[in-house]
A and B are shown apart, each in its own frame.
Chain A
Amino acid sequence: MEDFICRENDSSIFCNFSSTLTNIDRVVDTIKNFLHSRRIPFSPFELLFVLREALNNSVIHGNQKDSSLKVDCSLHLDKDTLTITVTDQGKGFDWQRQLIKTPVSSSTTSGRGLNSMERYGFTMRFNEAGNTLYLTKKII
């Protein structure tokens, strides 16, 4: 089985890949090209940053960088809404506890991923286990 597959149509792109840090770069580059070819009416920077954080969480924390485990990532562009879904094969985490954690101190070197998604205006939702993240944002 291939370790990196992406398929796309007019409004969506889906990627399935092995949990390596290099593959995160490949997915982000592929989705960057997808957005560029669809001529989206906004700067992709925030979206690519948030996407990368979601993929980092799945590869590093969810699948513990175990390359035998896969991550699914899809991005869908609706008329006015952008949806990103990322699923890993890890055991999930207590996302409710994580979301109400106290703010990250400026001298702390980790723990900014989820925080940054909210700060860029994305709505976050998890499945019950905490191994699927749904991100949505109005784009108009």
Chain B
Amino acid sequence: MSHIERKNGVVIIKPGIDIVASQCANLKLEFLEIINNSEKKIVIDFSGTEMIDSSGIGLLISIRNSLANYGGGEIELLNLSEDLKQLFKVMKLDNHFKIS
């Protein structure tokens, strides 16, 4: 289960595991709970996440789409390894997420 922290109107969620197909169903439930609480800004902390796959990327995109549909919320990806940052560039998604 992810570590979830709320600070100054921002929800920081740290899965601490790889965001891959075998984990996506559980992670999706956690994210949906946060979105359904009308949270406007979600930060996903990638500390402890070495790998993401296309299922995980699809999950992040669906969160981004849901936040946008619920009135302009935003999602930020934090503490990505250089390999993961490069992956978002290769997939041409680096301009669609705030990555820091």
Q: At the interface, yes or no: A91 with Cβ under 8 Å from chain B? A: no
Contact with B along A59-98 (1 / 0, CB 8 A): 1100000000000000000000000000000000000000
Chain A contacts to B: CB under 8 angstroms: 21-22, 24-25, 43, 45, 48-49, 52-53, 56, 59-60, 106-110, 112-113, 115-116, 119-120
| Residues of chain A with a CB closer than 8 A to B91's CB | 112, 115-116, 119
Which positions 68-83 of chain B face chain A at CB distance < 8 Å?
A: 83
Q: Which of B4-12, B36-44, B53-61 is the contact stretch?
A: B53-61
| Residues of chain B with a CB closer than 8 A to A112's CB | 54, 57-58, 91
B68 to chain A, nearest CB (A): 9
Query: What total of chain B residues lie within 8 Å of the partner, measured CB to CB?
Result: 22
Give the nearest-CB partner of A44 in chain B.
B83
A-B contact count (CB 8 A): 56
Cβ-defined contact, A108 with B20, below 8 A: no
B83 to chain A, nearest CB (A): 4
Other-chain residue from A21, A107, A109, A119 in contact with B21 (beta carbon distance below 8 A): A21
Cβ-defined contact, B93 with A52, below 8 A: no
User: Known contacts being A25-B20, A60-B21, A110-B54, is A116 close to B83, with CB within 8 Å?
Assistant: no
| Residues of chain A with a CB closer than 8 A to B96's CB | 106
Q: At the interface, yes or no: B92 with Cβ under 8 Å from chain A? A: yes
Cβ-defined contact, B61 with A52, below 8 A: no
Other-chain residue from B18, B55, B62, B87 in contact with A56 (beta carbon distance below 8 A): B55
Q: At the interface, yes or no: B51 with Cβ under 8 Å from chain A? A: yes
| Residues of chain B with a CB closer than 8 A to A25's CB | 18, 20, 22
